[in-house]
Amino acid sequence: MDIGKFLEEVAHVPGVPGYEAAVGARIAEWFRPVADEIFTDALENLYARVGEKGPKVLVCAHQDEIGLVVTKIEDDGCLRVFKNGGVDPRILPGMEVAVQARSGPIYGVVGAKPPHLLTEKEREKAISIQDVYIDTGYPVEQVRNLVRVGDMAVLLANPQTLAGNCMAGKTMDNRASVASMLVAAEWMKSRGTPAEAYFVATSQEEIGSKGAAAAAYRLQPDLAIVVDVTHAECPGAGKWEVFPLDRVAVVHGPNIHPKLEKLALDVAQENGVATSREITSGVTWTDAENTQISRGGVPTLLLSIPVRYMHTTVELLKLDVVRETGRLIALLIERLACEWEGFRWY
């Protein structure tokens, strides 16, 4: 698959937590040529099944993106907002947005009090979400006819192809991981891997991994492989906080099943997939938390794609790493399928 084309296409489709139907429908079109079955559930998770015999594997990556919600319409027509997901208020001033109104998108920009008008005390403070607003240009009467309190807003930005096979843009967290699932699905389909794999683009991860909890409960998988992004090396970051941009990060910690982790590292080494190890001392703040504790427990692995500038509109990654992540997923499932008869977790 053309990973860059996929990311350019899906980056433009809105899908804030709780409102993922449109982006799920677009992702479904990419899965349709390789999936044996495609369906959704009440939480707008998108499922694409590849194969029907062997171990039942849940592979998931969230499709939702951070965004804003309208909380108040000011007397001048400007819209006060709050976060839907982990939005950093520092990035918002000057941002272009689209309010998802009943009649269609209403375009605007994020404004704040100009620095020239700030008091000395105000200049010393970090900007907060209460300091910003959306300006659509419409007069207040028209705004109130078009926009309701509770309408969602998405950030707008065009993806940029950069040197070194890098791409930067919005929603790389986590639609890049969805792209890696597509790579894995294509690989499995072409090789006839004897496994029943459900590739799930999950909903509402940014507000607590609600979709992954529902998907794992529904499917009752034998194991789960979760894909998300992590922080890539960049100037000023601490040594243990970030990971090489050009390697798949295999996560280690109590959220991760040790046998799956070892298998992933062995398969990566045998097949030339460059990896690093991401150490977590507790929760991972990903879908892996909820897949692990579904029903009686699900052995779970977490793979991370390193991304710079997370939760901005210029999230930067290497397209090669997205592809290698998908290849590792497929090869790991293939190994598990071949060893499944008599396989033991401990």
Residue 172, both tokens = 């790389």
- % pLDDT > 70, the chain: 100
pLDDT the model gives residue 166? 98
Tell me, what's the pLDDT at 118? 84
Identify whether residues 36 and 49 lie together within a single domain.
Answer: yes
Q: What span, in angstroms and rounded, lies between the C-alpha atoms of 269 and 68?
A: 42
DSSP 8-state assignment for residue 194: S
Q: Is residue 162 part of a domain?
A: no
The whole-number pLDDT of residue 123 equals: 83
> Domain ends where: 101, 133, 156?
156
Residue 244 has phi, psi (to 5 degrees) of: -55, 135
> What are the pLDDT digits (tens) for 233-278?
999 988 788 999 999 999 999 999 999 999 999 999 999 999 999 9
Judgement on whether residues 23 and 57 belong to the same structural domain of the protein: yes
Query: Does residue 115 surpass a pLDDT of 90?
Result: no
- Do 307 and 316 meet the contact criterion of CB atoms below 8 Å apart? yes
What's the pLDDT at 345?
A: 94
Query: Mean pLDDT over all residues of the chain?
Result: 96
Quote the crossing angle between the two packed helices 21-31 and 3-11, to the nearest 10°: 160
Same domain, 114 and 256: no
Q: What is the pLDDT of residue 289?
A: 96
Distances (CA, A) of 231 to 9, 81, 248, 317: 24, 27, 12, 10
Q: Are residues 150 and 17 in the same domain?
A: no
What pLDDT band is residue 192 in, cutting at 50, 70 and 90? very high
Number of domains in the chain: 2
How many CB atoms within 10 Å of residue 127?
Answer: 16
Q: Which residue segment(s) compose the domain that 137 sits in?
A: 67-156
252-288 burial, b at 16+ Cβ within 10 Å, e below that, comes to: bbebbbeebbebbbebbeeeebebbebebeeebebbb
Query: Is residue 220 in some structural domain?
Result: yes
CA distance 177 to 288: 14
Alpha helices, DSSP H only, in 192-228? 210-219
Same domain, 32 and 125: no
Residue 96: give its domain's CATH number: 2.40.30.40
179 assigned to some structural domain = yes
Here the tokens at position 298 are 């699900």
Domain-embedded: residue 344: no
Picking from 88, 172, 185, 97, the residue whose alpha carbon sits closest to that of residue 134 is 97
Tell me, yes or no, whether 161 lies in a domain. Answer: no
Residues 15 and 134 in one domain: no
Query: Token pair 């349709």 is at which residue?
Result: 32
For the segment 93-118, the average pLDDT, to the nearest whole number, is 94
Cα–Cα distance between 122 and 176 in angstroms, integer?
A: 38
Average pLDDT, stretch 174-202?
98
Residues 88 and 152 in one domain: yes
**Is 51 contained in some domain?**
yes
**261 part of a folded domain:** yes
**Least confident interval from 114-118, 161-165, 230-234:** 114-118
289 closest CA partner among 256, 258, 263, 329? 256
Q: How many helices (H) and strands (E) does the chain have?
A: 9, 17
Give residue 259's pLDDT: 97
- Out of 122, 156, 190, pick the residue that ends a domain: 156
Are 57 and 83 contained in the same domain? no
> At 54, which CATH number?
3.40.630.10
pLDDT at 120: 84
> Does residue 139 sit in the same domain as residue 247?
no
**pLDDT for residue 113:** 85
pLDDT surpassing 90 at residue 164: yes
At residue 229 the predicted structure's pLDDT band, cuts being 50, 70 and 90, is very high
- Please state the φ and ψ torsions of residue 333, each to the nearest 5 degrees: -65, -40
What is the C-alpha end-to-end distance of the chain, expressed in Å?
Answer: 37
The whole-number pLDDT of residue 261 equals 98
Contact 100, 19 (CB under 8 A): yes
Token pair listed for 246: 């050009």
Measured CA angle at 287 (ends 286, 293), to 5 deg:
115
The predicted structure's pLDDT at residue 122: 81
Active-site positions read 205
Question: Residue 223: pLDDT above 90?
Answer: yes
Residue at 294 is within a domain: yes
240, HSE (Cβ side, Cα atoms, 13 Å): 3
Final residue in a domain of this structure, among 128, 156, 184 = 156
Nearest to 207 by CA among 26, 27, 80, 20: 20
> Dihedral through CA 185, CA 191, CA 192, CA 194, nearest 10?
-80
Nearest to 92 by CA among 147, 37, 45, 154: 154
Percent residues over pLDDT 90 in the chain: 92
Q: Is the pLDDT of residue 193 over 90?
A: yes
Q: Is residue 280 within 8 Å of 253, Cβ to Cβ?
A: yes
Q: What is the pLDDT of residues 2-42, one digit of tens each?
A: 999 999 999 999 999 999 999 999 999 999 999 999 999 99
pLDDT attached to residue 254: 96
Please indicate, yes or no, whether residues 211 and 227 belong to a single structural domain of this protein: yes
Say yes or no: 81 and 136 in one domain.
yes
Q: Are residues 78 and 203 in the same domain?
A: no
Write down the residue that tokens 């979400």 correspond to.
129
Q: Is the pLDDT of residue 126 over 90?
A: no
